[in-house]
Structure 1
Amino acid sequence: MNTRERIKAVEIAGVSKAYGHFQALQPVSFDIYENEFFTMLGPSGCGKTTLLRMIAGFEQPTSGEIRLRGADIQGLPPHKRRVNTVFQNYALFPHMTLEQNIAFGLENLGWEKERRLSRVADMMRLVHMEKFAGRRPQQLSGGQKQRIALARALAPEPEVLLLDEPLSALDLKLRQAMRDELRNLQRQTGITFVFVTHDQEEALDMSDRICVLGDGQVQQLGTPADIYEEPSNRFVADFIGETNFLDAEVLSVEGDNATVSIPLGMTISAPQKHVASAARAVLSIRPEKISLPAQAGQISVGGRIVSANYLGGFTHYVVEAGQTRLRVSKRNSQSRSGMFEVGQPIQVSFAAESARVLGA
């Protein structure tokens, strides 16, 4: 994505938040672009929901500025911002029909009846709920409530839609289906979506860009592929997906590569991020980057399979190589003949360029 030519929908400029002596969010700065599906991802307590609430106007920054389409919105109450929020619990009015729920905000904005009815009908069609217009929220499934909450938030044509972990209350199958629906809605409407989640798979699946937050700071900002394939530090590599960490001693650094000594009894040169010569570091290798059995031309090591977990499309193995245990993820073939048994001796391998040397 070429962000240089994009219009900035939201600008976060040196924004921090403190509650007394507790610093919930360190000063952070980044831009969110128009018509972007932007995700703030991180563990509980990292500051992502606090930041979302400050964009919405439910919290005020301790320092810094938040700008919406270039205008400082500091001090503006939530209803004066062209921003709407979809909450985790949907917050639908139980005594109103679905149509009335969607129309409520439009009435408060003073929309004329004809325009309001037309917009409600458009929103019901957009979320494929037109047959349920006269029902009340308690007559709906979780996924249907989610659709109506989205329709209500989208109806006033906000410039930015904020989504605070909206899929967390749904079961796995429904969460997966709703991911596609959310992404399609964002593309159809062209509205900037700012999505908050702690679920890495959701973030990787839906986002144009991801902001990884940890310890109240921005740890990395980039596309899903950037974040997963090129983690900037150990925190990001550990939080996004699974990885193997091997203690490494940095022998030398030359440009983008570092030569390190690792516990597998070898020295290798691999891409590095923010490490220095003679420093302690870790070598990060994703389980799916390790070949089982070993492939020619790769760095190979002998070991023994100590566990095998069959998960349908993949089998996850743990291979013990000396004092080191490596997690290996292998896609299953059409038959079970290619699977390996616990206790079986095996050679595994990986390409040096698929590993990353990260600061410890």
Structure 2
Amino acid sequence: MNQQNAVEVNAVSKNFGSYQALRSVSFNIRENEFFTMLGPSGCGKTTLLRMMAGFETPDTGSIRLHGRDIVDIPPHKRRVNTVFQSYALFPHMTLSQNVAFGLENLGWDKAKIRSRVGEMLERVHMDAFANRKPAQLSGGQRQRIALARALAPDPEVLLLDEPLSALDLKLRQAMRNELRSLQRDTGITFVFVTHDQEEALDMSDRIAVLGSGEIQQLGAPSEIYEDPANRFVADFIGETNFLDVEVLKTASKTATVRTPFGQVITVPSTAAIGLGKATLSIRPEKLNLGDQAEGIDFEAKVLSKQYLGGYTHYLLSAGGAEIRASRRNASREGDVIPVGGIVNVGFVETSARVLAA
């Protein structure tokens, strides 16, 4: 059964003077999906979010909400709400009044507003603070109230513009869990904008990676991480090693290459790989060291290391290249590979990817 689309972005472009922020971008966001737009500053993700909210207008293309073109519909008439990074709470109002504000503007009756405000404060675990002002709250509590206010009118789509970036690390991790639970509980489509790869991988059903005003790749978190479409995606999502290789033969989804370490191996590849120079991408955690080494095997010199309890991160030198690797400290002794020593390094061919140079 085909899942209905909540949002359809069709060939949207946007210029700000001579700067092209978006270049004919098209994608769909499914009903009840936690969808993330991920990318570096200036990639176009916030511009897209503002277009969905109605704060910006595309130069070309269309945006549809449940099949209805909304480009010419003003923001207050769209069933779309936004949670901003700054929270945008009214400092002179109580929390209850903040949550009620949008409902009053929509003309809800007082009894219905009281009931809905109580329900939303309880949902975000803030009902005990209903009469406090925003200044009396922590950053995480203010974020919960901003969420309650945005969810109160029961929007069709909730837009979240980097809402966790102002929080400290521990609180950010806790709020990630709360956001995901809220999305599942309400069934509302969440569209989340962030430049934090870990946030995107943790919370999303699907991720659109944006770069230079275009969609570089769209897919599930595991697909984006394990099978990046190009070097930009591989470099932006997590850590990876890029090694220069020579492509000797190609097939539909694989390439046979010669590595800097001398081996000839066959590994998965992106679609547009030709003979000659290319790039091999392999994540640090895919490299196995010492007694854990398996698969393709070569020797490397240990330049430095960082012991982090369950894992140790190494900087290695092999074949004229510097390589980062992570080793799980499985035994009680843990980190036993010395700096300056030679260590065996192994990886399974299917864990690497060949990308266009």
Superposition TM-score tier, normalisation by shorter sequence: over 0.9
> Percent of counterpart pairs with the same letter?
65
Alignment-derived partner of residue 161 in structure 1: 158
The one-letter code of the counterpart of 1:336 is E
User: 1:297–1:94: structure 2 CA closer, same or farther, 3 Å change rule?
Assistant: closer
Alignment-derived partner of residue 342 in structure 1: 339
Hey, what's the Cα distance between the residues in 1 that align with 2:49 and 2:159? 7
Does the CA contact (< 8 Å) of 2:288 and 2:294 recur in 1? no
Does the CA contact (< 8 Å) of 1:9 and 1:68 recur in 2? yes
Does the CA contact (< 8 Å) of 1:160 and 1:193 recur in 2? yes
Does the CA contact (< 8 Å) of 2:95 and 2:133 recur in 1? yes
Hey, what's the Cα distance between the residues in 1 that align with 2:167 and 2:294? 45
Does the CA contact (< 8 Å) of 2:63 and 2:71 recur in 1? yes
Alignment-derived partner of residue 270 in structure 2: 273
- Out of 39, 44, 47, the position equivalent to 1:47 is 44
User: 1:296–1:122: structure 2 CA closer, same or farther, 3 Å change rule?
Assistant: closer
Structure 1 position 332 matched with structure 2 position 329:
yes
Aligned partner of residue 5 in structure 1, secondary structure: coil
User: 1:34–1:223: structure 2 CA closer, same or farther, 3 Å change rule?
Assistant: same
Alignment-derived partner of residue 113 in structure 1: 110
Does the CA contact (< 8 Å) of 1:10 and 1:67 recur in 2? yes
Query: Runs in 1 of length 4+ with deviation above 3 angstroms?
Result: 294-297, 336-339
Following superposition, the deviation at residue 294 of structure 1 comes to: 5.5
Does the CA contact (< 8 Å) of 1:275 and 1:357 recur in 2? no
Does the CA contact (< 8 Å) of 1:246 and 1:284 recur in 2? yes
Hey, what's the Cα distance between the residues in 2 that align with 1:47 and 1:296? 42
Does the CA contact (< 8 Å) of 1:294 and 1:300 recur in 2? no
Deviation sequence 1:148-173 (CA, Å, 0-9, x none): 00000000000000000000000000
Following superposition, the deviation at residue 256 of structure 1 comes to: 1.2
Following superposition, the deviation at residue 331 of structure 1 comes to: 2.2
Structure 1 position 10 matched with structure 2 position 7:
yes
Alignment-derived partner of residue 142 in structure 1: 139
Alignment-derived partner of residue 312 in structure 1: 309
Alignment-derived partner of residue 287 in structure 1: 284
The one-letter code of the counterpart of 1:250 is V
Structure 2: 5+ residue stretches without partners:
none
Hey, what's the Cα distance between the residues in 2 that align with 1:297 and 1:135? 59
Following superposition, the deviation at residue 297 of structure 1 comes to: 5.2
Following superposition, the deviation at residue 74 of structure 1 comes to: 1.2
Aligned partner of residue 252 in structure 1, secondary structure: strand
User: 1:22–1:337: structure 2 CA closer, same or farther, 3 Å change rule?
Assistant: closer
How do 1:105-254 residues align onto structure 2 when only pairs under 5 Å count? 105-254=102-251
The one-letter code of the counterpart of 1:313 is G
The one-letter code of the counterpart of 1:314 is Y
Moved more, 4-13 or 225-234: 4-13
TM-score normalised over the length of structure 2? 0.98
User: 1:14–1:256: structure 2 CA closer, same or farther, 3 Å change rule?
Assistant: same
